[in-house]
């Protein structure tokens, strides 16, 4: 492989701690990456780039850390850089799917995969009718969530009506809600299947963390109920399904979450996460560090970009003024 130059890779991120292992893996390989925060301003008429390859690491949970979150701003910026000639990893199109549980479920179902019974609404007054069509118990979810945020369980119609009347339903930053059956999960486990370049990378089983918060990564685990993480060997059918999801979504790096319905044994796909920053303590959990595979992938993307640049493709240094 050819050696990347300092201006070949930029990483756009907002969480201060999650990507330390990635930056360390890059440094071990002698790869310098421009680190960009999604702050400041950018000019839609200016087509300079921060690097030929841009790696998007903006989290959907960023709205939990700041009311002035960068989710939609970053989508526009990533699309702008793509139009200017950058090779964007997990670009605006992927981010748009990551930012919509409704779109994710539609994608899963369109691939012939089972999903929890769900109705999508944008008005609180429509929640009751949606709930009646599903039955109780159920959950109401924010379309854009993160780390278990924006999910409430309701066991009967009276409690749901009270929440609607008191205006205490979950809120989503895009105004969209999901009314979804509550699924009794077999053994209390969800399986997260991680993919890289549309291929299986590894899988883990996650349990605990309270009712819904099952984030397994560094800097993401809650101070409350602990979670248990163990390596998993999913059925090949589930692995192939996760790879099909990654291909259909154009997902370069990301995880797909699936649970087994204890009522009938069906595998239900329910979440796509394009912000995979990998499991905490990977050497302890997996016996190897997936960041090394990720760096291999980034180097391959940089080499491809350099090859195209030598052949006259668009792409130049420059970029957003970020601290």
Q: Who's near 122: CB < 8 A, 6+ residues apart?
A: 175, 176, 177
CA separation for the pair 194, 232 (Å, rounded): 11
Query: Cβ(274)–Cβ(251) under 8 Å?
Result: yes
User: Which residue numbers in the chain have pLDDT < 70?
Assistant: 1-6, 147-149, 209-225, 312-323
For each of the domains in the chain, give its residue range(s) and CATH number, in order of start: 9-96+289-310 (3.40.50), 100-114+184-285 (3.30.470.20), 118-181 (3.30.1490.20)
Q: What is the pLDDT of residue 308?
A: 78
Q: What is the pLDDT of residue 213?
A: 47
Q: What is the pLDDT of residue 280?
A: 87
Q: Who's near 18: CB < 8 A, 6+ residues apart?
A: 57, 59, 217, 218, 219, 220, 277
- Entry pTM: 0.90
Q: What is the pLDDT of residue 305?
A: 84
Q: What is the pLDDT of residue 214?
A: 53
Q: How many CA atoms lie within 13 A of 66 on its CB side?
A: 12
Query: Cβ(37)–Cβ(82) under 8 Å?
Result: no
Dig out the tokens for 14 from the structure: 């907002």
Q: How many CA atoms lie within 13 A of 257 on its CB side?
A: 23
Q: What is the pLDDT of residue 226?
A: 73
Q: What is the pLDDT of residue 320?
A: 52
Q: What is the pLDDT of residue 211?
A: 44
Alpha helices in 43-181 (DSSP H): 62-65, 71-83, 92-98, 101-110, 127-134, 157-165
Q: Who's near 171: CB < 8 A, 6+ residues apart?
A: 142, 150
Q: State the Cα angle at 155 between 150 and 161, rounded to 5°.
A: 75
DSSP structure class, residue 144: S
Q: What is the pLDDT of residue 312?
A: 62
**Residue the block writes with tokens 């539609």:** 106
Nearest CA to 260 out of 189, 182, 179, 181 is that of: 189
């Amino acid at each position: 492989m050819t050696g990347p130059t300092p201006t070949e890779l930029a990483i756009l991120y907002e969480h201060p701690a999650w990507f330390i292992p990635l930056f360390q893996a890059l440094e071990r390989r002698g790869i310098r990456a421009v680190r960009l925060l999604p702050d400041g301003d950018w000019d839609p008429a200016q087509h300079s780039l921060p690097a030929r390859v841009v790696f998007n690491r903006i989290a959907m949970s960023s709205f939990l850390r700041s009311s002035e979150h960068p989710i939609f701003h970053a989508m526009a910026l990533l699309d702008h850089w793509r139009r200017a000639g950058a090779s964007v990893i997990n670009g605006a199109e992927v981010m748009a799917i990551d930012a919509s549980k409704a779109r994710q479920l539609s994608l899963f179902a369109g691939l012939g995969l089972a999903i929890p019974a769900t109705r999508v609404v944008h008005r609180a007054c429509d929640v009751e009718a949606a709930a009646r069509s599903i039955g109780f118990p159920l959950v109401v979810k924010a379309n854009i969530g993160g780390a278990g945020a924006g999910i409430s369980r309701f066991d009967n119609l009276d409690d749901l009506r009270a929440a609607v009347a008191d205006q205490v339903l979950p809120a989503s930053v895009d105004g969209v809600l999901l009314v979804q059956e509550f699924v009794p999960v077999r053994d209390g486990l969800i399986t997260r299947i991680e993919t890289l370049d549309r291929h299986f990378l590894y899988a883990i089983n996650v349990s605990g963390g309270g009712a819904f918060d099952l984030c397994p990564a560094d800097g993401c685990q809650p101070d409350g109920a602990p979670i248990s993480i163990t390596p998993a060997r999913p059925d090949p059918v589930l692995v192939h399904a996760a790879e099909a999801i990654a291909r259909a979504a154009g997902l370069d790096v990301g995880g797909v979450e699936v649970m087994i319905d204890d009522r009938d044994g069906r595998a239900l796909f329910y979440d796509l996460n394009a912000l995979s920053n990998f499991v905490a303590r990977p050497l302890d959990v997996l016996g190897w560090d997936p960041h090394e595979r990720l760096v291999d992938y980034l180097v391959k993307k940089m080499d491809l970009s350099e090859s195209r640049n030598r052949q006259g493709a668009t792409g130049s240094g420059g970029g957003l003024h970020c601290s």
